[in-house]
């Protein structure tokens, strides 16, 4: 189960880092210079950083997702019922896989409303990252390890 722990730790780390970045976006467009550059690069529409409350909500959800995946992978102590935790990790996986596939398959409509820069970055980076994270979360959920204290050696 070492491989599951490694995968879960990596997925949780990226989710936590992405959550931290969303928290920064409640007050700044960093690492981009202007709100307009942010809108073009990260959102693909509008004229700036989304409302602070929206960024904070996404930051919180990503943080919770990171904790769920890390706990189910056995990287941190687990809290709560295993079934509920596993269902949460399956949900994280489904959301990420849906976001990843949606970004790659939208050809008209919503995608056409996004900036060219965003569409290029989404195809090359954002959607593939979501697919990789969703797959990693599915691996962790399927393994269903959870955290277990080592028992006495018999």
Cα separation, 82 vs 104, in Å, equals 33
- Contact status, residue 5 vs residue 75, Cβ threshold 8 Å: yes
Per-residue CA distances from 33 to 2, 61, 146 (Å): 41, 26, 42
Q: Is the pLDDT of residue 148 over 70?
A: no
Q: Supply the pLDDT for residue 149.
A: 44
Write phi, then psi, for 77 (nearest 5 degrees): -60, 135
Question: Using one digit for the tens of pLDDT, what is the confidence trace for 47-97?
Answer: 778 899 999 999 999 999 999 999 999 999 998 899 999 999 999 999 999
């Amino acid at each position: 189960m070492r491989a599951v722990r490694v995968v879960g730790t990596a997925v949780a780390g990226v989710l936590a880092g992405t959550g931290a970045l969303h928290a920064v976006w409640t007050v700044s467009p960093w690492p981009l210079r202007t709100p307009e550059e942010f809108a073009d690069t990260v959102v693909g529409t509008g004229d700036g950083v989304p409302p602070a409350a929206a960024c904070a909500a996404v930051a919180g959800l990503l943080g919770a997702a990171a904790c769920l995946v890390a706990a189910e992978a056995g990287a941190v102590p687990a809290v709560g019922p295993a079934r509920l935790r596993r269902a949460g990790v399956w949900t994280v996986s489904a959301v990420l896989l849906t976001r990843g596939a949606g970004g790659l398959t939208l050809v008209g409509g919503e995608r056409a409303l996004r900036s060219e820069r965003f569409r290029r970055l989404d195809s090359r980076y954002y959607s593939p990252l979501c697919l990789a994270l969703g797959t990693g979360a599915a691996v962790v959920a399927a393994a269903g390890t959870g955290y277990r204290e080592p028992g006495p050696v018999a």
